[in-house]
Chain A
């Protein structure tokens, strides 16, 4: 055990030196109100767009049915959560905010998918709503409770000094 303590002590010294260095990242700028407002709004748009493009299979640029589409569906919200998480030092606050934003995106995606039906632009049967509940609510909700919190925790954990 004594032979193994030198590398351990060396790593401990390295981390202590890194803690003392501090960060060059300008937190006060990226935590400011205008930036947070922009981040929230753009996250809402990015996540809503990704959910919408997955649900609307009729668009030529849909994310449905391709491997790249599934990767974008998973990791788009992940990176949105990551960048949002960079603004928080408390993980619980970060999780609450980003999950709320993602749930709002789910609701917005759902509303946009039923918009033509609400406007009465075509004749719809009952299977339409069943499809919308699945692709417009269930799949986005799964992403909300998996990829978004994962990205958020990764982003927030970089701000925690232990």
Chain B
């Protein structure tokens, strides 16, 4: 196929080519934005949540969670989670987060461990976390859910 040759003959022609380029880009952006918005409503509402560290102090296990809210709507998240040591007994903990627009937040949850599990951690066992959370966005008047799971996390001692 011969290469396309064109000279911009005037402002109108330039505007038409610019329009084509912007239009092609906007078709893709429209599909992607709609998909992102729908997946926000289904799970998590854009909140990024991960475990940033776990530490054993005495008989208490402290788990640090980092959460960030990239959008311009405030949100509140809360939930009851479970932590297990090497797949053994599950310890419950409660986590609540208040995330303002475009801000990050850190929260710490703690659980009292049995002597057995403390020994397992010192022996190098990892912890598993399961945390289902409810997320409420006041400006949109909606509530949705997300689940954070992590396995075999290292614990600092």
Contact = CB atoms under 8 A, between A and B. Distances in A.
Interface residues of B, number: 36
Nearest to B46: A58
Interface in A10-68: 23-26, 30, 38-39, 41-43, 45-46, 48-49, 52-53, 56-62, 64-65
Contacts of B40: 58-59, 116
Given A25-B10, A86-B12, A131-B140, A116 B38 contact: yes
B19 A83 contact: yes
A40 B15 CA distance: 15
A57 B70 contact: no
Interface stretch (B25-33, B110-118, B149-157): B25-33
B23 A46 contact: yes
A82 interface: yes
Given A49-B26, A83-B19, A122 B37 contact: no
Interface residues of chain B: helix, strand, loop or mixed (majority): helix
Contact of A52 (B20, B23, B34): B34
Given A42-B23, A42-B26, A131-B141, A116 B42 contact: yes
Interface in A112-149: 112-113, 115-117, 119, 121-128, 131
B30 A52 contact: yes
Interface of B: 9-10, 12-13, 15-16, 19-20, 22-24, 26-27, 29-30, 33-34, 36-38, 40-42, 45-46, 70-73, 137, 139-144
Closest 6 CB pairs of A and B: A42-B23, A116-B41, A125-B141, A127-B141, A58-B71, A122-B144
